């Protein structure tokens, strides 16, 4: 009886199956256990004791097997039973995305990559040699003024321009060179709608035999049209940088169409810079440029205040 019951409960595959086994073995009216109990009454008193103990053990085992089978087959109440409507739209998780400045940087890397420029990197904590000396900026030059730079300890500073990377690249490889470098630069400027004490630049450097100013203007114009649109207007103004000769400043017509905003500086690499890194200025020529990434991003997305790019207000960021 016991083993037959255990098998029946153990093999039951549905609630109905368990119920059938329960009725067969534990049923109050005609169950097999009930029958065994009836037999107890017919026994001699001497036999009753042992039989009774055995009876109780079997009864407990079968009841436990019955409970176990029920628990095994019990399914949680369905979602519908719990009042949950699976056809309702769910809560859409809010996904993050890249910051607009990072998007701009990635796009510039992609664009210049198609012009054949590889990506170079340099440290933000720089030495004075890479930030000034090798760039033909003598100790007396006003660009070195402590009021215009973040000097750190002995001969180091937060770089004020990514032109430092030009030097690092040329120190480490012979010409030809065609690289860009993107990163943060630091200047103690007063913060306003178009200035910040930290911003990002993209530096470009191309050195080879016979590189000319026409190449520089072509690359910058093609780049501006690719990133800002075919109809963008840019202009080159004569300027001066110690590390380029001749030098220009590059302006773009702002998105309102009513004013020119400086995009950055550029020019033909000064022979003194080539000498500082061991290149022969009679062998190669080159151009370099340094553009502000924030302003490119602002012109592209019609953003009017640079500070929005640093405040990380999700209402602003989620628009890009
Ligand atoms: N380094 C210059 C600046 O920060 C920009 C520049 C780069 C000019 C390369 C000429 C050549 O203003």
ipTM of the complex: 0.98
Say yes or no to pLDDT of 74 above 90: no
Element housing 267 (H / E): strand 260-269
Judged by DSSP in three states, 178 sits in strand
Compute the half-sphere exposure of residue 280: CA atoms within 13 Å on the CB side of its CA: 3
pLDDT of residue 241: 97
Question: What pTM did the predictor assign?
Answer: 0.73
Which is more confident, 82 or 205? 205
Closest residue by Cα to atom 9, ligand 1, is: 289
Q: Is 63 annotated as a binding residue?
A: no
Longest dimension (CA), the chain: 127
Average pLDDT over residues 131-149: 95
Give the CA distances from residue 156 to residues 97, 210, 244, in Å, rounded to whole numbers and listed in that order: 35, 35, 23
pLDDT (tens digit, 9 = 90+) per residue, 82-131?
Answer: 788 888 898 888 888 999 999 999 999 999 999 999 999 999 999 999 99
Least confident segment among 21-30, 158-167, 216-225? 21-30
Q: What is the best residue among 243, 248, 270 to mutate for testing ligand 1's pocket, by most ligand atoms within 8 Å of CB?
A: 243
The percent of residues above 90 in pLDDT, for the chain, comes to: 76
Give the CA distances from residue 19 to residues 9, 67, 216, in Å, rounded to whole numbers and listed in that order: 9, 11, 88
The position carrying tokens 């030495």 is 127
Structure tokens at 76: 């949680």
pLDDT of residue 1: 86
Say yes or no to pLDDT of 38 above 70: yes
Beta bridge pairs of residue 247: 239, 267
**C-alpha–C-alpha distance, residues 203 and 201, integer Å:** 6
pLDDT of residue 70: 87
Best CA proximity match to 200, nearest among 275, 287, 116, 100: 100
pLDDT of residue 83: 83
Residues with CB under 6 A from ligand 1: 161, 163, 241, 244, 247, 264-267, 288-290
Give me the chain's average pLDDT, please: 94
| Closest approach atom of ligand 1 to CA 291 | 5
Say yes or no to pLDDT of 78 above 80: no
**C-alpha–C-alpha distance, residues 194 and 133, integer Å:** 29
Closest residue by Cα to atom 7, ligand 1, is: 290
Element housing 305 (H / E): none
| Closest approach atom of ligand 1 to CA 264 | 5
pLDDT of residue 76: 66
* Residues 166 and 203: beta-carbon distance below 8 Å: yes
Judged by DSSP in three states, 249 sits in strand
Average pLDDT over residues 305-311: 96
Burial class (CB in 10 A: 0-12, 13-18, 19+), 94: exposed
**Sign of the four-CA dihedral 194, 199, 200, 205:** positive
| Closest approach atom of ligand 1 to CA 247 | 10
pLDDT (tens digit, 9 = 90+) per residue, 236-289?
Answer: 999 999 999 999 999 999 998 999 999 999 999 999 999 999 999 999 999 999
What pairing do the DSSP bridges indicate for beta strands 234-241 and 198-208? unpaired
Average pLDDT over residues 35-59: 88
Structure tokens at 209: 């035999």
């Amino acid at each position: 009886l016991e083993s037959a019951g255990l098998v029946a409960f153990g093999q039951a595959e549905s609630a109905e199956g368990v119920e059938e086994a329960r009725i067969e073995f534990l049923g109050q009216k005609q169950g097999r256990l009930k029958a065994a109990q009836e037999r107890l009454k017919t026994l001699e008193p001497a036999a009753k004791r042992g039989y009774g103990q055995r009876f109780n053990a079997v009864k407990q085992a079968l009841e436990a097997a019955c409970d176990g089978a029920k628990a095994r087959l019990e399914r949680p109440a369905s979602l519908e039973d719990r009042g949950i409507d699976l056809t309702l739209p769910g809560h859409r998780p809010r996904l993050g995305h890249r910051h607009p400045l990072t998007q701009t940087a990635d796009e510039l890397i992609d664009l210049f990559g198609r012009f054949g420029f590889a990506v170079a990197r340099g440290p933000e904590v720089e030495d004075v040699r890479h930030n000034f000396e090798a760039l033909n900026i003598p100790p007396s030059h006003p660009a070195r003024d402590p009021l215009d730079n973040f000097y750190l300890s002995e001969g180091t500073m937060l770089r004020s321009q990514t032109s430092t990377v030009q030097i690092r690249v040329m120190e480490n490889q012979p010409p030809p060179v065609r690289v860009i470098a993107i990163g943060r630069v630091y200047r103690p400027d007063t913060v306003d709608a178009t200035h910040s004490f930290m911003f990002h630049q993209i530096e470009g450097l191309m050195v080879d035999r016979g590189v000319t100013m026409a190449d520089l203007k072509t690359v910058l114009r093609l780049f501006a049209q690719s990133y800002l649109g075919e109809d963008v207007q840019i202009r080159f103004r004569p300027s001066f940088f110690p590390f380029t000769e001749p030098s220009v400043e590059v302006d773009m017509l702002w998105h309102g169409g009513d004013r020119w905003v400086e995009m950055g500086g550029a020019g033909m690499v000064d022979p003194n810079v080539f000498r500082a890194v061991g290149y022969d200025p009679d062998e190669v020529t080159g151009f370099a440029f340094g553009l502000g990434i924030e302003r490119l991003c602002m012109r592209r997305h019609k953003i009017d205040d640079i500070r929005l790019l640093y405040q990380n207000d999700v209402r602003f960021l989620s628009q890009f």
